[in-house]
Amino acid sequence: MAKIRLTKNELKKQKDSLKMYKRYLPTLMLKKQQLQGEIRITDTRLSELQIAIKKLDETFKKWIAVFGETGIFTKDILKVISIKTGSGNIAGVPIPVFEGANFEIAKYDLLKTPLWLDKAVECMKKALLLELEVKIVEEQKKRLDKELRTTTQRVNLFEKIKIPETRNVIKKIQVYLGDQQTASVVRGKIAKSAFEKAAK
């Protein structure tokens, strides 16, 4: 900590700083609570997505034998061309928002392929959309976690260091200025008393 000047100007400066810390602390605490709430929401969404993926996997297990049988359903049949994301803002944190994806379906002869292929392609689309959304929600959570760490550090800095430190400095300056004023009054009385004695 820098050396403190024990003056009235420094006292005013420290009081202004304390006022500012006290004004910003509730805002930071509110932001911290909001971030914690949003992180819980993203955790819930990730759980929901994992459950949906698990259910879809169960559906795929019923089809898996058919997929291997024909050799029609290959990894090239469905490709993700682009991922559509928007941008959002939570407590001042820019986050990506999942809006969907564009797919390319390989051309296949409707007369020569089994009827289940269309349904399989749709199921695959759903699975890919869920996985893509998981990645976006994980990115949201990562950004919110980072901001929460920063905000928590600031709250702790204000609450546990800056405010107590500034209060101590104010107290020290007030005691010093009070002692100086008392010493000045005593010197004045001594000088007055000496002046009166000399006048007699």
CATH number at residue 78: 1.10.287.3240
98 part of a folded domain: yes
More confident residue, 78 or 173: 173
Q: Is the distance from CB of 14 to CB of 98 less than 8 angstroms?
A: no
Average pLDDT over residues 110-135: 83
Domain that includes residue 132, residue range: 8-185
Structure tokens at 8: 């009235």
200 part of a folded domain: no
> pLDDT for 53-111, tens place per residue?
999 888 877 766 666 555 555 667 788 999 999 999 988 899 999 999 999 988 876 66
122 part of a folded domain: yes
pLDDT of residue 109: 67
Q: Is the pTM of this model over 0.95?
A: no
198 part of a folded domain: no
Q: Which of 41, 135, 35, 33 is nearest to 93 (CA)?
A: 35
